[in-house]
Amino acid sequence: MWVGDLIAWGDRVMDRKFGLRAALLIACASAALAPTAATSAQAAGAATAEQRAADAVSKMTLDEKLQLVFGYFATDWQGKHPPAGVRYGSAGYVPGIPRLGITPQWETDAGVGVATQGAAQQKRERTALPSGLATAATWNPELAFKGGHMIGSEARASGFNVMLAGGVDLERDPRNGRNFEYGGEDPLLAGTIVGSEIGGIQSNHIVSTTKHYALNDLETGRKGHDARIDPAAARMSDLLAFQFAIERGNPGSVMCAYNKVNGDFACENDWLLNRVLKGDFDFRGYVMSDWGAVHSTVKAALNGLDQQSGWPFDEQPYFGAPLKAAVAAGQVPQARIDDMARRVLWALYSTGAQDNPVTEGAPIDFAANEAVSQADAEQAIVLLKNDGNLLPLGPNVRRIVVIGGHADKGVLAGSGSSLVYPRGGNAVAGLEPTGWPGPVMYYPSSPVEALRALAANANISFVDGNDPAAAVAAARQADLAIVFGTQWSSESIDVPMKLDGNQDALIEAVAAANPRTAVVLETNAGVAMPWAARVPVILEAWYPGRAGGKAIANVLTGRVNPSGHLPVTFYASEAQLPRPARPGGNSEMDQFTIDYSEGAAVGYKWVDRNNLQPLFPFGHGLSYTSFAYGPISASPGANGSVRVHFTLRNTGQRRGMAVGQVYASPAAGTWEAPRRLVGFAKVDLAPGQSKAVDVDVDPRLLATFDERAHAWRIAPGGYTLSLGASSRDLRTNTNVTLPGLNLPANWRPGRPIAGPAPTHGERG
């Protein structure tokens, strides 16, 4: 086990250096409804934090400042050992400064919980949330906050005060192997959900790190590819998602990505770091590098990197002795070193990490935390199709056969540095790849067992699906067949837009044998479903987390009424993608250029602009009840915003949650796509009940970014605001006329239009 894990870790490293992975593997805009982390108390604390950080820096020697900007990997690596004081088996460590009482920084991955690095023999067994994409599918910022709070509490109890969590790279390609770590394709939804998670994490007085800034939208060639995009389009898409997440969650840190953006590596990219992030976004915290993403000392320091992470992952200890030498040579000003140290300290002070020391080994209430994960999964599961109202399972369904997906043992998880080891261990150990980018992990939460517990009168059998003939024979005998389809994915790889192996053929065969076939999917993102027309029921369960089996069973049986909606477009085939052939080869080291010529027309905006018919559109999700949407009205608000008022009503027989989605379209075709999501609200409704909702539309969602004028421009004229159940199911609309308006590039909610000019880089 230990040797295997070491080899696994070696793979990861060899990958980075020599690109040998393949060979080695032979072994809501509803601000009114949602919690936000940026409370007034924090805002008050932030002012104090700035002053305290400046004061501490004024007392530091140059060596002490430099110590704050250089991080170590916290696990053994190629015979090299981390320094004393690390939480062994975790991602990183930055020593403290005892003379001044400055806490060490203990860093752990990631967005679904406290992870353990693959090379560590001893695993921290912690509670995993559903995947990031699953949480985005809840369209529920409050749940995202609670999930963030839960995993942050486990981080604190495990002795960590920095959590490398808050992935918000947009899905530009369903084949990106890390889509499961992110928040989907829409800047508003992703920024709202991930920002809420960040706020929840930091409510434990620890730092959260939003990542991977920016345009780390494919894993192939992640360490060498150059993401090319029109800067204005980036501001309206990927960077807007980061901006919303940062404004909402106020993270202490941002992790710059491996890839290049418009020619410069993300961790030495003046435009991304100094001008946009620290300038226009007014980000006060520190930029930490991804592990092995630094390529220079002077360029990185001057262009905005504040902390090198994970030594010895990089070729050189760029922010160690070389940075000191660069200061001595006058290549990097002292003021910039002060700025770096001040930013790190600001994060520690403003979050409370400095004042609330973490201790390793505090008790964890695993039962309560599992309930948080389960609640997230239950609202994340998307009922894509339910012909003939086959679900929920009724009492007359007596013989059920469950087929495939290891559903007798557990539920699938995504792998890589974010992988959380569950209590009880891997339910299906030994599947390839067992080393990096594996292991393939199934959490011990069996959907079959959970179903048996709920449907005591039914006879529920399981066949593994390895023998399609046996599966077909069992399906013929059953009232209902439920096939579990899986797509495993991990960091450092991309995956085909399909279920793994021969599962498509298995589903076709089972559906042919029994027309009452339901398919439950556990996938990274959307997959092609060549059998979709021939099965009456499809349920997308994503990677549903530690209690996923129970959540799936609760939805199948109707104990939970599904309320998830797609946070991404499910394409009919790869031919519909902006790049039907995935760029690059098969290694994360590949060097090539990706031309994101679709610009800000990401996901539904792309299919809408090109009149394509997706398999299931962005925002889609069914319920066991029905809802009426509307009426809707809208009126112009302050600073170019628009207040939208609408009503949702439960017209069916069951309690359920509706997601009202508001899309805007300009009368004149000045946008990248026919419509944009500009607001949403999820409401819980008893049968017959209706609720009125107000949503304030952020003016940046009604604007286009003008790079030359460095401003958001709202064109004067008429706008249609449509309310519906998905991007392709708009039920009613209203019109509003807006005066033309320019907002400065650094505008954010609450900032007057005539704000001060943005500051770049160094901050006093």
What's the one-letter identity of residue 610?
A: N
Tokens read off for 370: 């599992």
- Least CB distance to ligand BGC at residue 211 (A): 6
| Separation between Cα atoms, residue 493 and residue 174, nearest integer Å | 12
**Per-residue interface string for the shown chain with ligand BGC, residues 671-710, x marking contact by CB under 6 A:** ----------------------------------------
Of 309 and 446, which has the nearer Cβ to ligand BGC? 309
CB 595 within 8 A of CB 24: no
Residues 543-572 that bind ligand BGC (CB under 6 A): none
Please, how many CA atoms are within 13 Å of residue 28, restricted to the half-sphere of its CB? 28
Q: Alpha-carbon dihedral of residues 281, 637, 139, 388, nearest 10 degrees?
A: -150
Minimum gap (Å) between residue 188 Cβ and ligand BGC: 24
Binders of ligand BGC among residues 78 to 137 (CB under 6 A) are 91, 109-110
In contact, 507 and 527? CB cutoff 8 Å: no
Q: Do residues 273 and 253 touch, judged by C-beta distance below 8 A?
A: no
User: How many CB atoms lie under 10 A from the CB of residue 330?
Assistant: 8
Compute the least distance from the CB of residue 23 to ligand BGC, in Å.
Answer: 20
Minimum distance of ligand BGC from residue 37's CB (angstroms): 21
**Complex with ligand BGC: residue 24 or 57, whichever CB lies closer:** 24
Measured in degrees and rounded to the nearest 5, phi and psi for residue 56 equal -65, -40
Q: Is 390 in the site for ligand BGC (CB under 6 A)?
A: no
* CB nearer to ligand BGC: pick between 291 and 705: 291
**Binding map of ligand BGC across residues 471-490, x = CB under 6 A, - = no contact:** --------------------
CA distance 168 to 243: 10
CB of 471 to ligand BGC, least distance (A): 38
Of the two residues 417 and 514, which places its CB atom closer to ligand BGC in the complex?
Answer: 417
Pick 108 or 274: Cβ nearer ligand BGC: 108
Lay out the site mask for ligand BGC across 196-215 (x = CB under 6 A, - = otherwise): ---------------x----
CA 377, 379, 385, 390 torsion: positive or negative?
positive
Q: Return the number of the residue (12 or 156) whose C-beta is nearest ligand BGC.
A: 12
Cβ 164 to ligand BGC, closest distance in Å? 4
Q: What's the half-sphere exposure (Cβ side, CA atoms, 13 Å) at 374?
A: 19
**Which residues lie below 8 Å from residue 367, measured CB to CB, with a gap of 6+?**
none
7 near ligand BGC, rule: CB under 6 A: no
Q: Which is nearer to ligand BGC, 167 or 578 (CB)?
A: 167
CB of 725 to ligand BGC, least distance (A): 34
Closer CB to ligand BGC, 114 or 164, in the complex:
164
Interaction mask 210-249, ligand BGC, x per CB under 6 A: -x--------------------------------------
- Smallest distance from ligand BGC to CB 418, Å: 7
Of 232, 41, 65, 28, the C-alpha closest to 139 is 28
Q: Least separation, in Å, of the C-beta of 424 and ligand BGC?
A: 24
Among 417, 426, 486, 746, binds ligand BGC (CB under 6 A): 417
- C-beta closer to ligand BGC: residue 117 or 726: 117
Binding letters toward ligand BGC, positions 146-175, x by CB under 6 A: ------------------x-----------
Q: How far apart are CB 404 and ligand BGC at their closest, in Å?
A: 31
Give dist(CA 63, CA 60) in Å, integer: 8
Tell me the site size for ligand BGC, rule CB under 6 A.
Answer: 8
Q: Among residues 255 and 381, whose Cβ is nearest to ligand BGC?
A: 255
CA dihedral in degrees (62, 67, 70, 76; nearest 10)?
150
Q: Which is nearer to ligand BGC, 213 or 604 (CB)?
A: 213
Strand runs (DSSP E) across 667-728, as ranges?
A: 676-685, 690-697, 704-706, 711-714, 717-726
Contact 333, 302 (CB under 8 A): no
Burial of 228 (0-12, 13-18, 19+ CB in 10 A): middle
Question: Is residue 291 part of the contact set for ligand BGC (CB under 6 A)?
Answer: yes
Compute the least distance from the CB of residue 491 to ligand BGC, in Å.
Answer: 6
Of residues 109 and 306, the one with the C-beta less far from ligand BGC: 109
**Toward ligand BGC, which CB reaches closer, 110 or 272?**
110
Residue 708: count other Cβ atoms within 10 Å of its Cβ. Answer: 6
* CA–CA distance, 80 with 95 (Å, rounded to integer): 17
CA–CA–CA angle 101, 102, 105 (5° rounding): 140
- Closest contact distance (angstroms) between CB of 291 and ligand BGC is 4
Q: Mutual orientation of helices 366-380 and 141-157 as an angle, nearest 10°?
A: 150
Residue placing its CB nearer to ligand BGC in the complex, 179 or 446: 179
Place of tokens 């003016």: 699
Cis peptide before 715 (omega within 30 of 0): no
State which of residues 290, 494, 500, 588 lies at the interface with ligand BGC (CB under 6 A).
Answer: 290
The candidate with the shortest Cα–Cα distance to 163, out of 186, 187, 147, is 147
Question: Which residue, chain included where needed, has tokens 């499910």?
Answer: 570
What is the nearest approach in angstroms of ligand BGC to the Cβ of residue 254?
A: 12
Residue 266 CB, shortest distance to ligand BGC, in Å, is 12
Q: Give the shortest CB-46-to-ligand BGC separation in angstroms.
A: 25
Instruction: Answer positive or negative: Cα dihedral of 59, 62, 68, 72.
Output: negative
Backbone dihedral region for residue 139 (phi beyond 0: left; psi -120 to 50: alpha; all else: beta): left
Distance CA 87, CA 82 (A): 10
Residue 595, SS3 per DSSP: strand
Nearer to ligand BGC, 164 or 493 (CB): 164
As measured in angstroms, the least distance from the Cβ of 307 to ligand BGC is: 13
Tokens read off for 708: 């030359």
Listed in sequence order, the residues at least 6 apart from 8 whose beta carbon sits closer than 8 Å to its beta carbon are 118, 119, 434, 435, 436, 438, 439
Q: Of 493, 486, 564, nearest to 525 (Cα)?
A: 486
- Return the number of the residue (109 or 238) whose C-beta is nearest ligand BGC: 109
**Residue numbers of the site for ligand BGC (CB under 6 A)?**
91, 109-110, 164, 211, 290-291, 417
